[in-house]
Copies of this chain bind each other. A is one copy, B any other.
Amino acid sequence: ESPADPKNPKAGKWSFKPRGRLQIDTASVSAPSAIGSKSLGLATEFRRAYFGFDGTIPGNFGYRIEADIANSSIDPTDVYLNYTGIKNLTLTIGQHKPFESMEDTESDLFTSFMERASFNTAFGFERRLGLSAQYQKGMVLAQVGVFTDNVTDLNADTDNSYSIDSRFALQPKLFGGQAHIGGSAHYHDLNDSSATVRYRARPFTHTTDIRFVDTKAISALSETNYGVELGWTGGPVHFTAESQWMKVNRPAGIADPTFNGGYVEAGVFLTKGDTLPYKASEGTWTRIKPRNGVDKGGIGAVQVNARYDWLDLNDNGVLGGRQQLVGASLLWVPTDYVRFIVDYGHLWLKDAAVAAGADRNYNADVIGMRAQFDF
């Protein structure tokens, strides 16, 4: 509304930008027919359908209000106010991501596969209402925040859980490219007398609701988790790997299990001049901008990626199962804001939570396709 004050132009001005994204997914899950579930086979869905606004307010404030309507319900995503009046620092209040991992911090618009690595969903990463500070200067990134729960769970006025979340990274230039060496540490107090946690993951696609690995609900008092992160991008190639350990503090007299997951990924562009960009201020990968987009008469960017992903939900008396997968993906990015993905994964299940007849050790295959745009 009002322009920047000419005497104090750094205080910012009003801006407003609509935001939206759509991801349409089709995928097929092949698994032993002895499982006997209609959730196998082909399925189609809106993976995400966001819309909202963001912008800036004079006085160095910024805001975002956005929600996902893909499930024909309202699921608030980023809904926050921030302050950028102190150099290199961003203060944020509202619902946002609590710096759980490198891939969780990355926008779902930019991931190399249709879904993030299994541990990201298995360990319950989600946006939460909280207060955080993010500092980035030179080759150092530090993020720290205190959070309560996500706003949907906070509709229960008895929810007084809280967490302290932190993430650090070094961002050196190495071997002619950009490197990322990071880690995160988190403590989450459920702060409620009869709380439980549940860890589980879908098989490489969100179109099915089956989870071959699943701890079911287990009693818990708090969670402590740690992650390590590595990344490198240079020219057409990138490499990235993460692992995370989730320790559950269970009530007195019950052993405390620690679950682990992670992935190793490499990718390369087949189209000349394209690269996977790194966003230093957030410490993660960002939008691919094709050098020769179809809007310039080119064919856009084409990238292939390979990944090994593991998730181990067996420990100390909890038998949630182990899932390993090897996946490959082909991305076609005709313009900055449009993307098509085809990916394929082969899964090895051990001690699966869903039995195939009497068998809990079996394999599965998943093939998926996505059409996506955002603005």
Q: Does A42 interact with chain B (Cβ within 8 Å)?
A: yes
Asked if A42 and B155 make an inter-chain contact with CB atoms under 8 angstroms apart, the answer reads no
A295 interface residue (CB < 8 Å to B): yes
A72–B42 contact, CB under 8 A?
A: no
Q: Indicate which residue in B93, B210, B295 contacts A24 across the interface (CB closer than 8 Å).
A: B93
A313 at the interface (CB under 8 A from B): no
Whether A41 sits at the interface, judged by CB under 8 Å, is yes
In the bound complex, residues from chain B placing their C-beta under 8 Å from that of A240 are none
Selected contact of A375 from candidates B11, B57, B95, B375, CB within 8 Å: B57
- B71 and A72 within 8 A (CB): no
B157 A337 Cβ-Cβ under 8 A:
no
CB-CB nearest in chain B for A8: B297
Complex Cα distance, B43 from A61, in Å, reads 26
Q: How large is the interface on A (under 10, 10 to 19, 20 to 34, 35 or more residues)?
A: 35 or more
State the copy count for this chain.
3
Residues of B within 8 A of A293 (CB): 58-59
B375 to A63, Cβ gap below 8 A? yes
Asked whether, in the complex, the Cβ of B155 is within 8 Å of the Cβ of A61, the reply is: no
Known A-B contacts A58-B335, A75-B72, A337-B57; A63 and B295 likewise in contact (beta carbons under 8 Å): no
Please name all residues of chain B whose beta carbon is closer than 8 Å to the beta carbon of A11 when the two chains form the complex.
Answer: 294-297
A148 on interface, CB distance cutoff 8 Å: yes
Binary interface encoding of chain A residues 184-225 relative to chain B, with 1 for a CB under 8 A from any of its CBs, else 0? 000000000000000000000001111000000000000000
List which A81-102 residues lie within 8 A (CB) of chain B: 81, 85, 93-95
Offer 8 A-B interface pairs, CB within 8 angstroms, sorted by A. Answer: A7-B296, A22-B65, A22-B94, A24-B81, A43-B157, A46-B129, A73-B74, A85-B294
